[in-house]
Amino acid sequence: MDIKTIETVLLEQKEEFLANLNEEWCSRPEEELVDLNSKLAQVVIGIRRSGKSTLCFNVIKKSGEQFAYVNFDDERFADISSDNLNTVLECLYKIYGDFNHLFIDEIQNVDEWFLFINRLLRTGMHILITGSNAKLLSGELATHLTGRHMKIELFPFSFKEFCEYQKISTAHGTTKEKGFLMAAFDNYLHDGGFPELLNEKRKQTYINTLVDSILKKDIEKRYAVKYKAAFENIANHLLNNAPAKINYSELQNQFGLRSDHTAENYVNYTKNAYLVCGLHKYSPKSKIRIRDEKAYAVDVALMNNRENALAGENLGWRLETIVYIELLRRYKPLECDVYYYDETAGEADFVVCKGNSVQQIIQVSYDISNSKTYKREVNGLLLASAKTGCNNLLLITDHEDKNIVENGKKICVTSAYAWLVEK
């Protein structure tokens, strides 16, 4: 790209950047994880349209630091290469003057970007990066920046953020407050937490466009996917059937691939792009933890608002998905791990661990009024408790709040809406 074109794009982006800094944005807890004075690159990573850029605008605005800004998710930069990055830097100095903080949006769109970032870090530049592909962290960043980065994962709105954005009180002490919060949760269970989606009337169109962009732009183009139709069918299959155990041999046969290795690669691509989040099986044996895995959609909107979605009417699947993503929000920053428990005699949805210590066992069921359902969910909790030695047992439902005792063990039964907004 020629220097005049680059300069023109950056000038227009500066106008957009300054306008965004003047806007009032919804604050999010992950902002506290960003350290702008760190010598490490601060990398905000997550699915497209989860609010990464907005979070960064908030952080920058509150900091008062002088930032320069470049957004590589701009069609005018579609053909930019690593050879152009120094020209970009020259133009930024021309436009912004002297600066030692740089915000780069969607850096993964530029090949060999990491060499540029590494050079800037060596000069003492403080760098804030967003990206929509976890390969930034699992491969490229870890390899080429040699640990000189800090990851901040961002998911779509939690239920608490969903309420705050829509100015809905999260209090539920009175009958009215409880009723309002229950109504809000029903909406969240249906529409999910993508910030822009909340103001969209054509929600299915929005989600279809988002998924299509992720599949084609963030995955097929980036990984040079050979069997595009098979890959897209697998991605939609995972979203339609989530949460479900992943069987690579079955995927290979069902979608006509030559090997289960290709099927595994395709599933990993969806995880890298944060369409899907994996959940491994709890076991003292690392081989089993690595091998056995479930797939969850990163947001229930991907289950319910897609064209021809098959999971939309299953409230239990959607509730379980909401709980899992919330557990990731809460426990990943605390360096805890989340697993599922599954034995022949019974299963539990989630096991929260800190190192080798099991902190909590969680079961999720939309409705436990049926005696058979109640027995199955409780027995799964008791079995996991006996095997792990953990007595902190939680059963999350749509609407019930009570404590029960089974086989001498206390089980806290709580409504999802109350658990999701607790401090």
Tracing tokens 């059963």 back to the chain, one arrives at 395
Six token digits for residue 341: 């428990």
Q: What is the average pLDDT across 205-234?
A: 94
pLDDT at 78: 87
Neighbours of 2 (CB within 10 A): 9
pLDDT at 136: 64
* HSE, side-chain direction, 13 A CA sphere, residue 93: 8
Q: Is the predicted pLDDT of residue 145 greater than 80, yes or no?
A: no
Structural class in CATH, domain 3-153: alpha beta
Report yes or no: 43 and 152 within 8 Å, Cβ to Cβ.
yes
CATH for 200-313, among 1.10.10, 2.40.30, 1.20.1440, 1.20.1050? 1.10.10
pLDDT at 286: 73
Distances in Å between the alpha carbon of 164 and those of 27, 130, 186, 231? Answer: 9, 24, 16, 37
pLDDT at 113: 82
Phi–psi pair at 253, nearest 5 degrees: -70, -40
Whether cis (ω within 30° of 0) applies to the bond prior to 284 is no
Q: Is the predicted pLDDT of residue 219 greater than 60, yes or no?
A: yes
Per DSSP, helices labelled H in 22-79 are 52-63
pLDDT at 263: 97
State the Cα–Cα distance between residues 195 and 289, nearest whole angstrom. Answer: 34
- On whether the pTM is more than 0.85, the answer is yes
Among candidates 183, 70, 51, which has minimal Cα distance to 117? Answer: 70
List the domain boundaries for the chain: 3-153, 200-313, 319-421
Q: What is the average pLDDT across 344-350?
A: 94
